[in-house]
Structure 1
């Protein structure tokens, strides 16, 4: 008998299963990677040796206004470690600079006061200027041109009016952008909803290159990179994390080159071979990415890549914040068939909010039964969206076995966000 642990919120769920039923366990090697230094030192080393860029302190000389784009509450970016080092680098040469932290919410809800306190720490929260991006506030946005795809490129004014634009973030596989980090700080991070919708259109989401681990010829990445370049994102600091959300490597410097270096690093660690099975158990790696149903499109897409057609995907997901997207919820209430039919007839300029998430969810629903394991989310919400629900992992396994057999093979992806399934 094997004991399997799956991240769930800030804890984990445990399942005992006969070893002969386990087809495979797919995990990123980042979780066992031994870093060459402790977290703060890794970031400091990256700042001291930027890739294809001057040091940040040299870029900051003489700049009056400096804006630092930072991730919101849905991302486990270790801001408490990164930010003090950024401020130290800037203020060592420019103590009078007006520094603003711009929280990149993209299409997410605004971060709460407690979430910002948890992210920045009390000292930074009280003493630094923090602004939360709102992609629907026309007064805070400005049009700076057109995306390669033709959509309007509209971003936060603070990023345009600043003298130096910087971004912190982290790099992991991303289900349609290839990888997170780098250019994503601008699009979707601080972009208008109009711009995000143009980039997340049905045509691009369905594109064969819009998949985890792929940057080349990925139309979504192409738009994102162009947006960041047009916004003059001058310097990035991106980290790679293990399963405990600890920094194992850091990359700083040029928007594109530093990001590519980070993508190459995590890409080698995250790539795993598909092990098809009738039951696939996965998660979003626990808090903070498992706070809502919306975010779980990530782990479900990894499970989709190794679940046999007609099989069952079990998602261990706290979802204490509910569905996370009213728009996605309303889409999926109509049923997967109807969703896909309507979405694939929707042209690029008519994209609806969170259409992309409904498109991917519906695509997976049409091939697999999806069971969410949660004792923190209203099961009625899940069932209305076309999912099944269980309170425990054991209950979910019984439900799955009733569909595909009591001896069905099982593939486990403890952290579906962290892997690239080939």
Structure 2
């Protein structure tokens, strides 16, 4: 028997599988990547050697104000490390500059004070000017153009009111934008709700190029890149993390060039060879990425990439914060099944996208061809069942149900961290 740990909330769930049943264990090399530098040294190296850009200390000279855009509570950006370094360099270059920090909530709920303290530490929360982006508050937004998709580009007014705009974030495989990081700080990070909706339309989500690890010809990425350019995103600091959320590399500088370099690095170490099976066990990387069903769809797409049609995806995810979106939940729960959801969503025009449409579209796409069993002991099982998935508390119980569906002799693929791999 082989014992395999799957990240779950702030710990792990462990599964025992007979080695003869295992078709493959798909893991990126991210967790095996080693460097002689510690996290602070890696971040400082990136800031000392910005890609296609002057140093941050030089960019701030002569500026009266700077806006730092950072991720919200749903992203494991190590701001306790990165933010103090950014603030130090900014004030070194311009001690009197007015610094504002904007939380890029995108289409998510606002972060709580407790979540901000967990993210930054007490000192930064108490001393710095921190603002929450509200995508539905039209009074706080400004129109700065038209996206390639045709949607209006609304962003937080603070973006245009600041002399310099920079962003911190992290790069990971993303299930429809190709990769996270870089331009995503603007769209969806600090964009207006209708802009996010236009960018996440069913036509784009349905594109074969809107998939993990793909940027070229990706219509969603194209919109995001345009938005970041129009918003004058001048400088980024993006990190790459391992399963312990530790920094293994960092990239700073020009919004597009530094992000591209980071994506290339990640592609080299995160790509795994496709191995198909009737049963796939995967996870969503643990906390904070597995705190709701909405976010857990990301890890499911890794399972989707290797699971045979009619097979079973066993998703290990805490979902302690519930479904993660009212529209996401209701559009699945109120439908008879995934076919009804897909038939409806593919008829919705680009400019009529509804909240959470992209997420329930992708989950319906997965459910159309696969059975999904969620393993969690931290949320309401009925909520999961309402969304046309099974829910159990124990992995071994899930495995038994899966074998009842596809057969006792079925092969199993395990992807311990579904959000960290790029299946090729």
Report the TM-score when normalising by structure 2.
Answer: 0.99
How many angstroms does 1:345 deviate by?
A: 0.6
Given the alignment, which residue of 376, 379, 388 partners 2:378? 376
Q: Secondary structure at the match of 2:93?
A: coil
Q: Distance in 1 between matches of 2:417 and 2:159?
A: 33
> How many residues are treated as equivalent by the alignment?
422
Q: In the alignment, is residue 67 of structure 1 matched against residue 67 of structure 2?
A: yes
Given the alignment, which residue of 359, 364, 367 partners 1:357? 359
Q: In the alignment, is residue 164 of structure 1 matched against residue 164 of structure 2?
A: yes
Q: Distance in 2 between matches of 1:134 and 1:407?
A: 51
How many angstroms does 1:283 deviate by?
A: 0.5
Paired position in structure 2 for 1:413: 415
Paired position in structure 2 for 1:214: 214
Paired position in structure 1 for 2:387: 385
Q: Could you list the per-position Cα deviations for residues 182-241 of structure 1 after superposition, in whole angstroms to 9, with x for gaps in the alignment?
A: 000000000001000000000000011111111111110000000000000000000000
Q: Distance in 2 between matches of 1:36 and 1:271?
A: 23
Q: In the alignment, is residue 10 of structure 1 matched against residue 10 of structure 2?
A: yes
How many angstroms does 1:407 deviate by?
A: 2.1
How many angstroms does 1:408 deviate by?
A: 1.2
How many angstroms does 1:36 deviate by?
A: 3.1
Q: Distance in 2 between matches of 1:288 and 1:406?
A: 34
1:98-137 to 2 correspondence within 5 Å?
98-137=98-137
Q: Secondary structure at the match of 1:296?
A: helix
Q: Distance in 2 between matches of 1:32 and 1:132?
A: 36
Q: Distance in 1 between matches of 2:374 and 2:269?
A: 28
Q: Distance in 2 between matches of 1:95 and 1:37?
A: 29
List gaps (5 residues or longer) in structure 1: none
Q: In the alignment, is residue 182 of structure 1 matched against residue 182 of structure 2?
A: yes
How many angstroms does 1:167 deviate by?
A: 0.2
In the TM superposition, structure 1's runs of 4+ consecutive aligned residues that sit over 4 Å from their partners are none
Report the TM-score when normalising by structure 1.
Answer: 0.99
Q: In the alignment, is residue 302 of structure 1 matched against residue 302 of structure 2?
A: yes
Q: Distance in 2 between matches of 1:107 and 1:23?
A: 38
1:48-63 to 2 correspondence within 5 Å?
48-63=48-63
Q: Could you list the per-position Cα deviations for residues 329-374 of structure 1 after superposition, in whole angstroms to 9, with x for gaps in the alignment?
A: 0110112111100100111011001100010000000100000000
List gaps (5 residues or longer) in structure 2: none
Q: In the alignment, is residue 23 of structure 1 matched against residue 23 of structure 2?
A: yes
Q: Distance in 1 between matches of 2:35 and 2:185?
A: 25
Q: Secondary structure at the match of 2:255?
A: coil
How many angstroms does 1:149 deviate by?
A: 1.0
Q: In the alignment, is residue 401 of structure 1 matched against residue 411 of structure 2?
A: no
Q: In the alignment, is residue 191 of structure 1 matched against residue 223 of structure 2?
A: no
Q: In the alignment, is residue 235 of structure 1 matched against residue 235 of structure 2?
A: yes
How many angstroms does 1:294 deviate by?
A: 0.2
Q: Distance in 1 between matches of 2:93 and 2:215?
A: 36
